[in-house]
A and B are shown apart, each in its own frame.
Chain A
Amino acid sequence: MRSWLRAHPTLRHIVGRAGWYVLTFFVAVAVNFVLPRLGDANPVDMLMARARTNLDSTTARQQEEAYLAEFGLVHVDDAGAVIRDAAGKPVPTSLPSQFLRYVSLSAQGDLGTSILQHPRRVSEIIGKALPWTLALQLPTIVVGWLVGNLLGALAAYYRGVFDRVLYPIALLTSAIPAFCLGIILVYVFGIQLEWFPAVGGYDDGMVPGLSWAFVRSASYYYVLPFVSILVIVVGHQAIGMRSMCIYELGTDYVKYAKLLGIHERKILLYMFRNAMLPQLTGLALALGGMVGGALITEMIFSYPGLGLAILTAIQGNDYPLISGCTLLVTVCVLIANFCVDVAVGLLDPRIRASHGAAQ
């Protein structure tokens, strides 16, 4: 096996990276588990407050203990009764035992029950919100990346009026905070002109389903959130690509190619390919992190998605939901990074060459 890997440096590179990613995964899961719990808050307090009861304290304490036991936060005996200390207080479970319980349940595919959205399962919450998040994020990131990079490369190559117009616009759009642009769009196109709906993901009069009417409605509601993210992504990508291309234009290979009289389209392709590598890494990271949701867009447009679920989970110490969401984000970011590593290893001749040299 070792000799086989030695004979295949690219595979060796991939296996080596995979090992590191597995290690990173376990560390990330442990950190994600421990960090929210360091605050020493009692997540059931929020649940009790939400019930807004006028309960007498004895009844309220009984309810609280029942929930603490259900979420594995206090010790229970074999009969399911809460174990108490000498002072009559429930004995809290230790962090390591909570972690073991979490790992063992997660390994069986059980992410647990949300505390704040009790009795909804974490997997159900993520499953319902994720399609909206992906539908909003994936096209904006991909379209924004393509359009931004294309515009950046063209601006760098042709300069002139095109660059003088595009560059300040890209600077402006990339500098506008997302919430600011979102609010402006809502105010102008949603409230004043009433061209687009200001809030929601689809017509309130519809039930989500695979019908043409629903798709049309969702597309109509999609425009403002989509544009609010797209404009910013395009600006960022265009500026980054423009700088990279200007750098590439000054390199010897471009000058040499020009002197050789190679067609400008081919030169642009060479340049684009080289300038694209860091942009590609950025794209993969953005795609990996997109499952975290577009929080600001969700909040401004009251758009469905995972971002707000994560925020409210963190605010309310909803441990199972935090762990479920961070697990998803961790897995996606690591997979995206791994894919970039593999792709760069396969595509970039310099990296292939470096592995060959190492041998």
Chain B
Amino acid sequence: MLIRTPRRSFLLLSSLVALAGCRRETGESDQTFPRDQTVYVGGFQWGPPSSFNPLATAPDWPCMVGNSHNLFYETLLVFNTLTGEMQPLLAQSFQVEPDAIRVVLQPSARFSDGSPVTADDVKYTFDLGRQHKSLRLAAVWPFLQEIEAGADGKSVRFVLERARPNPLVVLDALQETYILPRHVIEPLLASLGGDMNELGKLKFDERSIGTGPYQMHSYSAEKIATVRRDDYWGNDVFFGGKRAAAKYVVHPVYKSNDHYSVALQQGRLDASSSFIPRIWLKEKKGVRAWLDRAPYFAASAMPVVWINHQRTPTNDVHFRRAMAFAIQYDDIRELAVSGYSEPVKPGLVLPFGFEGKYYSEEDAQKYGASFYDPVRARAELAAGGYQPIWGPNGELIETRDRSGARVRTVYIKSPTGWTDWEAAVRIIVRSLRAVGIDARERFLDASLYWPAGYTGDFDLLLGTPASAPTPSKPWSRFDFVLTTQDFAPEGQKVYRNLGRFNDPKAPGYVPRFTELLDRIPTLTDPAELLAAYRELNVLVMVHQPVLQFVYRPDQFYEFSNRVWQGFPTAKDPFLPPQIPSSRLGTRMLWQLTPVGQQDLAFLPRGTQP
């Protein structure tokens, strides 16, 4: 009698497990989002969603700033990262004039409530940034004098600030600023007493009024689901009257890269921008990337090691160039980032893609130091008066300076848990120590990492300056690294030029950096532009304000063709490598077809909408 109880328990447990384990999938009819009508995307949302308000500081997918997602709200223009050109979205065309940028709106562009998108909406949206300095949009106003809405209601002139003419910053804003309906936002703001902070607290989590092809379906801590708007104005303009193939676009919220990787392999996710190490091992499960061989992804960003120029010994150009020569770049590429990078070249210009035309291999060979060359690294150290002291087993004991004093250890700070960066830092430390530079790793909790960067509390620190691919590249990368516009000493916060390079009040100040940064945005002649970029890049190579160590894509464009097919690749680059909710990647939603229904393709492959 007594023995029967555990037997019963065992039986009960076993039956429960067996019952659950009979691979009973939820029936298709039970699904709110039928699989063949739903595109699952991932890699942008890493925590429970909190706001879909485009005027909040950090709204969630698909309203987040930086990646120009355009499912709910749309921008005037969209930047093609393959060609470096701006393409129409809410704006039909644009023209850069000497003192202004003129934009003509699509005649048929409408908000989801049916009201047309007018020049007044555009002016109102941008003017919000002029009135409310806490908005991200405020950053463009130092470069704008005013915005003129045309009498026709469909043209807008962005008049450039005469004192600081910079069309590049304005172009960046045109391709990342969501155009909002004035007739909705203005009364809402007025009802809150004009308090933008209060407006920023509204979640906009119901079907808010936007121009995009999708709207909110539902959201929870586990996923954000959007549903197609069949009356989207762009169907006629860009897609010959066809609707997007996917009725739903859903972003599940997973908690790590591994989960996105597993979901891609299981066909539960269609496209994701998450770091999957050794992606070639996932090919047999149907996971693909932009390229089918290394570097697999199209790089558009340049992570760097920020160098603190307010401290010794990193304020010494010999020391900095010695570090640049010492780093084993190939090891970082192969071991830390799974080969997902082109070989690194000196300077702040990407030597390929739309920036490649500004890169000069001749300059790099002549002035650059970002090549692994331990002999030249030691020579630079010797030229700076640094002398490594080696132990009996060849290990570095310490480094001494010209006076014989011990040079303090330099620490490389990086966020803990960012595994690719941790691996890169270890390789950099090993490389530096091998040539006689006393360097060590210092991995920090993210909550300490960011303030360390802003306040300059570091010797060396990993970061990615101006990572988004925008029309202002490579100028904005130079500007982010070199600007002295809001220079502040260590201890006070700055959000650009974290290394405090080129102190305007210091004796070694090089004004030519600032002159070139101010001049490049105003240049239109290609030859002049090339000359200016070359000169600026040479200055960077000579002064080595940061250490480049790898390239990375803006988005790790990975897809699975288990459920949907027709994703663009490097062999069939009809759209750039972007997740189908971001930039031109959204247009993929009209091109994809469920597997097995390829005959129903709405548009022939290779057709550029």
Contacts and interface: CB of A to CB of B under 8 A. Distances in A.
Interface stretch (A49-57, A102-110, A284-292, A330-338): A49-57
Contact of B57 (A43, A54, A63, A216): A63
A188 B147 CA distance: 61
Contacts of B201: 113, 118-119
A118 B451 contact: no
Interface stretch (B182-190, B238-246, B399-407, B487-495): B487-495
A359 interface: no
Contact of A219 (B20, B250, B268, B494): B20
A56 B496 contact: yes
B17 interface: yes
B139 A56 contact: yes
A191 B265 contact: yes
A345 interface: no
B38 interface: yes
B57 A67 contact: yes
Contacts of A66: 134, 197
Nearest to B34: A205
B479 to A, nearest CB: 9
A55 B493 CA distance: 12
B33 interface: yes
A158 B254 CA distance: 47
Interface in B247-284: 250, 252, 254-256, 259, 262-263, 265-266, 268
B447 A55 contact: no
B451 A41 contact: yes
Contact of B20 (A39, A59, A196): A196
Nearest to A65: B134
Contact of B447 (A118, A125, A265, A315): A315
A34 interface: no
Contacts of A60: 493, 495
Given A54-B466, A194-B266, A204 B451 contact: no
B545 interface: no
B21 interface: yes
B433 to A, nearest CB: 30
B9 to A, nearest CB: 6
7 A-B pairs with least C-beta separation: A213-B30, A57-B486, A205-B31, A119-B201, A49-B450, A117-B50, A120-B50
A151 B13 CA distance: 13
A299 B255 contact: yes
Contacts of B23: 194-195
B376 interface: no
A223 B17 contact: yes
B223 interface: yes
9 contacts: A66-B134, A66-B197, A70-B197, A117-B48, A128-B48, A150-B9, A199-B259, A203-B31, A205-B26
Nearest to A219: B20
B476 interface: yes
B579 interface: no
A201 B26 CA distance: 13
Contacts of A50: 58
A33 interface: no
Given A45-B451, A67-B57, A196-B21, A59 B133 contact: yes
A308 B222 contact: no
Given A119-B51, A200-B252, A45 B454 contact: yes
A206 interface: yes
A55 B496 CA distance: 8
B451 A51 contact: no
B506 interface: no
B200 interface: yes
B20 A315 contact: no
A100 interface: no
Nearest to B37: A205
Contacts of B446: 46, 49, 315-316
Contact of A220 (B20, B40, B485): B20
B134 A62 contact: yes
B218 interface: yes
A51 B266 contact: no
Interface string B199-228: 011110000000000000010111101000
A54 to B, nearest CB: 6
A316 B445 CA distance: 9
B221 A51 contact: no
B532 to A, nearest CB: 21
A42 interface: yes
